[in-house]
Structure 1
Amino acid sequence: MPKRVLQGVVVSDKQDKTVVVKVERRFTHPLLKKTVRRTKNYHAHDEGNTAKVGDTVWIEESKPISKLKTWVLLPNAPKA
């Protein structure tokens, strides 16, 4: 099974080697037929502390790094 790749915006970079990324998904409500936005925060590993607040980044699913971190920051955007 391939690893999931998500795009989001960095909302916090205060922790060492960790960034918090807000990912937004949009879907159509099954009953109301209205577009709904849902957001979720992911803790991602940032080895070089390169990402800053407000940056748009790509994160990839990985094996657990700590209690909360199961995602890693991709150094460049995927081709898909």
Structure 2
Amino acid sequence: MPKRILQGTVTSDANDQTVTVSVERRFTHPILKKTIRKSKKYRAHDAENAFKVGDSVRIQECAPRSKSKRWEVVAN
């Protein structure tokens, strides 16, 4: 099964080798027929601490690195 790749913005880089990425998705509400924006935060592995707050990054699924990290940063 292929790994999912998401694009988002780094919202935190406080922890070592970890960034928090906010990913926004847009969809049409089934009843209201209105476009809705929802965002979700993912914690991703950043081995070199290369990314800072505000950077646009792509993350992909990986094997669990810790209790909360299931994603890794691919590129910006």
The residue type equivalent to 2:67 in the other structure is K
- Which structure dedicates a bigger proportion of its chain to strand? 2
Q: Is 1:16 the equivalent of 2:20? A: no
Is the contact between residue 59 and residue 75 of structure 2 (CA under 8 Å) also seen in structure 1? no
Deviation at 1:75, TM superposition (A): 3.2
Could you say which residue in structure 2 is the equivalent of 1:55?
A: 55
Are the equivalent residues in 1 in contact too, given 2:7–2:56 (CA < 8 A)? Answer: yes
Q: Once superposed, what is the RMSD of the aligned Cα atoms?
A: 0.8
CA distance in 2, matches of 1:64, 1:54: 25
- Describe the superposition over 1:24-74 as per-residue Cα deviations: whole angstroms up to 9, x where unpaired: 000000000000000000000000000000000000000100000000000
4+ residue stretches of structure 1 with deviation over 6 A?
none
- What TM-score, normalized to structure 2? 0.98
Structure 2: 5+ residue runs without aligned partners? Answer: none
Shift of 1:10: 0.1
Q: Identity of aligned pairs, percent?
A: 61
| Pairing of 1:1-80 with structure 2 (within 5 A) | 1-75=1-75
